[in-house]
Structure formats: structure tokens, C-alpha cells
Amino acid sequence: MILGTLKRLSHRLGVSPQPKLQRLSDDLVHAQVVLCLCISLLLASFIAAFVTACKRRNKSSLTLADLSPYMRALMFFIAPTRVAWPAHYVRAARKATISRSKQIVIDLNDLFGDICAGKIELRQPDDLVDLLRGELRVDGWRFLVQVDSVHCRHVQRWLFAESVKVQRIDAGAALRPEQPHVWTLQLDSVPPYLLESCLVRNLSFRYACFLEFTTVSMNLTPWSLAWILSSVPFCPHRHKSRCMLSGPSTTPLFATLHATLEVLARANAKISATHKMSANKMSADARTSTNKPDSGTKTVHAVTNISAAHASTLLAQRDRLHSDTSLRTSYIARYGIECWRERRLIMAWEAALLRAGMLERWSVELRG
């Protein structure tokens, strides 16, 4: 524009533009042409890229052969029970293949839902140990478990509801099969604020007994992914409330060995105090009695980490539920096949958590 005005001005003045000015205008025109060329080249390459992207998307036509490395790795962990995989596995395979992430992301809810519905099966419950540790790798593919925010909110809501609910003591007690005169008290479903009174009442009468309970490992931070995965056996699940005798319990999520032993010490002190009182009364009533009344308190004889043994017990029960025909038939008749599948999965899950060190099972041996 400036050049144009200059030219017009010089024309009107009857002077030809100076050669220097002429060269300047030529250079400018040259630069403009180069710029135009650059822009059109850029545009062209953009269009080309867009078209290829579109083509690739149209061709979500990744062939089965393209997906097969993913599917082969996935098949190592789970097996479809029907001819076709549920659609979301194929979608995930496509996504991972396009992004070349080499990751197989397993959604917790999908996994439980598909197994309960009988669409897929675990190949080896043992693989859950590595999966939960985040160490399951097949052919360079890494398996990850994912928990969505909906599941976390469910757990939060359940914890809150349990914390305001008035609970009853539900201490399961059973004779030990290997020592038929010794009792084991299962503390997992005793709410923390009732634990002390439960121990006072139950221990006063028993000479020797074992306390057993599960805790989440101290190494896990509450609400971390590992913690949420560890809470699965205790949370209410699809069919769990119907098919479990003891029902879901929040106690193991916050119990620690240390805190439980402290409560035990307080319970012991109370038992000892009541015994002293009754002993005093007795000796006042009958001074002739020479029998020294027993103090009633218990001493901790041993504290044992029984995680590995408990995991084996769970796996054995899981196998029995599968291979013992009469047990299987009656279980399925009573609770339904989906519940049966879920129960077996949760047993395998809990055993894997114990073996991965995410849950711990403790046994405290008490002697009078």
C-alpha cells in the first residue's frame, strides 16, 4: 500500500521511482510470494493429516490380527466363557493398540460384574496376587486395576451408614477342630466400640482361647487404590449381603494389631477388678475356704501372623464350593448361581490380598 502510494505520488510528480525503491518493492513482492507458498504448504499438510486421521478412524478397521497381541495377553488372565468377548474388552483392546500403551486396564466393577454374570472366568486365582500388587505382566503388557469414582463413593456412603448404625455384637465363636476343647473368637464383625465389653464377657468364662482378626496392612494409606482394593472383601457387593452369614463389616478396615492388644489389656484389667471384688465378697462370706480364687485374667501366650495359613484355608473353601457337588448344588439352590460365582471370586480375592501382604490375619493365643 505504501509502495502503491509512493508510486502514484512519484507518477503525479512526473518522477520515476528511484531504482533503490524499485528493488525494495521487488524484494517485498518476493517475500509475499514465499509467505503465501509456506501457508498453502502448511494448509495442505494439515488437510493431509486430517484426512489420514479420518481414514484411520473410519478404519477402526484395526483387524483382529492387530488386536491379537492384546487379546493373547488378556487371555492369560481371564477366559471368555462364550464365543465372543464382552464388547468393552474389544473396545479397550482397540484403544490400547492405537495408543500403543502396552497396558491392560481392568475395571474392578466390570471384572466383578462379568465374572458374576458368567461372561468370563479367572484362569488362575493365583494371578490375582500379582494383579493386586501391580506386578502382573504378560508378553510386555502390564495389567492395571482401575476403580472408578462411583465405586469410591459407594464405599464412602457405606462406611458412613455403618458408622451411625447401632450395631450388635456378632462375635463368631467356634471350637478349634485341631483342639476340640479350645475356642476361637472371630473378631472381624465386632464393631470397635463394642470390642472391650465383648471380650470381658467372653473371656471371663474361658480358660484358654484364641482371638482371630484381619487388619489392612499398615503400609496402605486409607483411600489409596491399594486400600480400596483391600476393602473389597468387607464391602457389600452385588450379591454378598444375601450369601454371607456374617455380613459386611467395617472393622477390619481400621483395626490394627496394636490397638486390638490394647483393648485386650483393658478388658483384662476389668476382668481382674471384678474378680477381686467377688473374691473379697467370697472370702468375707466364707473365710474357711482355702481355695485361692483364680484371677480370671488371661495372659497373651503368643501372637502369630497367620496370613498365609488363612489364605490357604480360603482357597481350600473356594475349591470345595466348586468341587463338592452337594455343597455346590445346595449353595446355588439357596442363593443363586451369580452369588455362588461372586462368593468364590471374593474368597480368591481375599486370599490374594493376604498373600500380597495387603491384608494381615492375626491369631492371639490366650491362657488363663
Ligand X SMILES: *[C@@H]1O[C@H](CO)[C@@H](O)[C@H](O)[C@H]1NC(C)=O
Q: What residues make contact with ligand X under the rule CB under 6 A?
A: 169, 171, 173, 198, 201-202, 305, 307-308, 357, 360
Query: SS3 of 290, please?
Result: coil
What minimum distance in Å lies between the beta carbon of 176 and ligand X?
13
CB nearer ligand X, residue 221 or residue 290: 221
CB nearer ligand X, residue 304 or residue 330: 304
What minimum distance in Å lies between the beta carbon of 129 and ligand X?
10
User: How open is the CA angle 195-197-199, to the nearest 5 degrees?
Assistant: 65
CA atoms within 13 A on the CB side of 263: 21
CB nearer ligand X, residue 201 or residue 266: 201
Residue 184 CA: distances (Å) to CA of 106, 179, 180, 189, 354: 38, 10, 10, 14, 20
What minimum distance in Å lies between the beta carbon of 204 and ligand X?
10
Residue with grid cell 471370586, as numbered in its chain: 345
Contact 307, 332 (CB under 8 A): no
The crossing angle, in degrees rounded to 10, of helices 19-58 and 2-12 is: 150
Length of the chain: 368
What minimum distance in Å lies between the beta carbon of 47 and ligand X?
59
CB nearer ligand X, residue 202 or residue 230: 202
What minimum distance in Å lies between the beta carbon of 219 and ligand X?
9
Q: Round to whole Å and give the CA distance between 239 and 89.
A: 24
Q: With DSSP H G I counted as helix, E B as strand and the rest as coil, what are the percentages for the chain, rounded to 5?
A: 60, 15, 25
CB nearer ligand X, residue 93 or residue 353: 353
What minimum distance in Å lies between the beta carbon of 310 and ligand X?
9
Handedness of CA 202, 215, 347, 119 (dihedral sign): positive
**What one-letter code names the amino acid at 248?**
P
CB nearer ligand X, residue 6 or residue 261: 261
CB nearer ligand X, residue 34 or residue 309: 309
Q: Round to whole Å and give the CA distance between 45 and 43.
A: 5
Cβ burial of 101 (10 Å; 0-12, 13-18, 19+) is: middle
What minimum distance in Å lies between the beta carbon of 294 and ligand X?
18
CB nearer ligand X, residue 101 or residue 363: 363
Q: Round to whole Å and give the CA distance between 127 and 353.
A: 11
Residue nearest to ligand X (CB): 173
What minimum distance in Å lies between the beta carbon of 362 and ligand X?
9
Q: Round to whole Å and give the CA distance between 267 and 200.
A: 5
Q: Round to whole Å and give the CA distance between 311 and 70.
A: 31
DSSP state of 134: T
CB nearer ligand X, residue 145 or residue 195: 195
What minimum distance in Å lies between the beta carbon of 323 and ligand X?
26
What minimum distance in Å lies between the beta carbon of 357 and ligand X?
3
Q: Round to whole Å and give the CA distance between 225 and 220.
A: 9
CB nearer ligand X, residue 239 or residue 310: 310
Going through the chain in order, the beta strands assigned E by DSSP cover: 78-80, 103-107, 120-122, 137-138, 141-146, 172-175, 183-186, 209-216, 299-305, 359-367
